[in-house]
Structure 1
Amino acid sequence: MRADLQASFEEYVAARRPALLRTAYLLTGDHADAEDLVQTALVKVVPHWRRVADRPDPYVRQVLTRESVSRWRRRRWREVSTQAPPERGATGPDLDQREALRAALGSLAPRQRAVLVLRYFEDLTEKETAAVLGVAVGTVKSQARDALARLRASLPDVDPEGDLDGDVSAAAAGPPPR
C-alpha cells in the first residue's frame, strides 16, 4: 500500500474505530466479538482502500454487517443455550431495562438485528440500509417491521413512543460494571 493511502487508512481507523465498535457491539451483543468483527472487517477493507478511500463508511458498514451475519451462520451450531443466565453484578431499573433490551436484540435474527442497527442507530435511510445489506428496500421494511414487532412483544413494559435510539445507545454502552 502506498504511504499516502496507508496514512489515510490509519487516520480513518483512528477517527471511526469507536463508532465502528459501537455498531459491531449492537450487531454481536458481545464486546470481544465486536472487537474481532471490526478487526476482520478492516482487514477485508484494506485491499480495496484505494477504491473506497474517498467515501469509506458505506463500504465498511457493508463489510461489517455481512461479516456479522456470516460469523453468526458459521458459529450458531456451536453455541449452547442455557436455561438461566449467569449471575449479574448490579441491578436497578435502568440496568434491568438495558439488560432486557440487550436480550431482546440478541433474540432477533442477524438480518433483523442488522436492519435495526443500521436504521435506528446508524440513522441510515431504508434505501441506504438496503444497499449496505444487498437486499431490496421492501425487505428492509419487512425486516424492520417484524423485528420491531418482536421487540414490542418481548418488551411490553417499554413505552412504544419512547426513544428507541436512546435505548439502543444505552444497550451499546455494554454490560454493567462488576
Structure 2
Amino acid sequence: MGSEGGDGDFEAFVAARGPRLLRMAWLLTGDGHLAEDLLQTVLAKVWPKWHRISGDHPEAYIRKALVHTHASWWRRRWRGEVPHGELPDAAASSDAYESVDLEQSLAAAIRALPVRQRAVVVLRYFEDLSVEDTAATLGCAPGTVKSQSAKALRTLRAALPQTVAEGGDRCARP
C-alpha cells in the first residue's frame, strides 16, 4: 500500500509520537492492552481527518481525543469490581524491588482517581502541559483544572507510601 499526500506525514507522526501517546493512553487506562486499543481507536478516527489537523497542533488534538474516548469508554464500562486492597507499607531497608513497588503503588493510586482527576494529573504532570493547555484539552476552565489537580494530589498523597508522599529522594514513574 503506497502512501499518498498526507499519509506519509501521518505515518511519520505516529512513528515519532506514538510511544509518548501510548504512554499517555496507558496512564489513562492503567492497562497495556486497553492503552493500545485506545490509541489505535483514536488514530483510526484521526487518520481520515489528518489533512485538516496536521497543520495545527495534531498532538494536542490527539491528546484531547484520547481523553474524551477514554472517558466515553469509562462511562460505559461496568464497574461492579471494587478495588479494596491496602497499599503495602514502605520497606524499612533498601530493597532491590523498592522502586518497582513504588511505581506500582503510584500507578494503582492514579488508576483509583476519578476519570477527570486522572486526566488532569496525566496531562499536567506526565505530559507537562500548562494549566491553560490542559483546560483547552479537557474543554473546561483553568480554575477547574486547578481544583481537580489539588483534589487529585491530595488523594495521591493520602494513598501513597510516605517516601513518595513527602517528596522523598526517589521518584517513581508509572
TM-score by length of 2: 0.85
* Closer/same/farther in 2, CA of residues 13 and 74 from structure 1, 3 Å limit: same
Aligned pairs (5 A) from 1:22-37:
22-37=23-38
Q: Any stretches of 5+ residues in structure 1 without a counterpart?
A: 86-90, 172-178
Q: Any stretches of 5+ residues in structure 2 without a counterpart?
A: 87-95
User: Amino acid of the residue matched to residue 16 of structure 1?
Assistant: R
* 1:3 counterpart SS class: coil
Distance 2:123 2:147 in 1: 14
Distance 1:110 1:42 in 2: 21
RCO higher in 1 or 2 (8 Å CA, sep ≥ 6)? 1
Match of 1:123 in 2: 128
Tell me if 1:149 matches 2:154.
yes
User: Amino acid of the residue matched to residue 147 of structure 2?
Assistant: S
Match of 1:71 in 2: 73
Distance 1:150 1:57 in 2: 29
Distance 1:105 1:148 in 2: 10
* Closer/same/farther in 2, CA of residues 32 and 136 from structure 1, 3 Å limit: same
Q: Deviations over 1:125-174 (max 9, x none)?
A: 0000000011111110000000000000111412433589x52xx21xxx
Match of 1:81 in 2: 82
User: 1:92, CA displacement in angstroms?
Assistant: 2.4
User: Amino acid of the residue matched to residue 133 of structure 2?
Assistant: E
Distance 1:68 1:38 in 2: 10
Q: 2:166 aligns with which of 160, 169, 174?
A: 160
4+ aligned runs moved over 2 Å, structure 1: 79-85, 159-164
User: 1:76, CA displacement in angstroms?
Assistant: 3.5
* 2:117 counterpart SS class: helix
User: Amino acid of the residue matched to residue 167 of structure 2?
Assistant: E
Match of 2:44 in 1: 43
Match of 1:10 in 2: 11
Number of equivalent positions: 161
* Closer/same/farther in 2, CA of residues 44 and 107 from structure 1, 3 Å limit: same
* Closer/same/farther in 2, CA of residues 121 and 156 from structure 1, 3 Å limit: same
Structure with the greater alpha carbon radius of gyration: 2
User: 1:105, CA displacement in angstroms?
Assistant: 0.6
User: 1:119, CA displacement in angstroms?
Assistant: 0.3
Distance 2:25 2:104 in 1: 17
User: 1:5, CA displacement in angstroms?
Assistant: 1.0
User: 1:103, CA displacement in angstroms?
Assistant: 1.1
Query: Percent identity among equivalent residues?
Result: 48
Distance 1:142 1:159 in 2: 19
TM-score by length of 1: 0.83
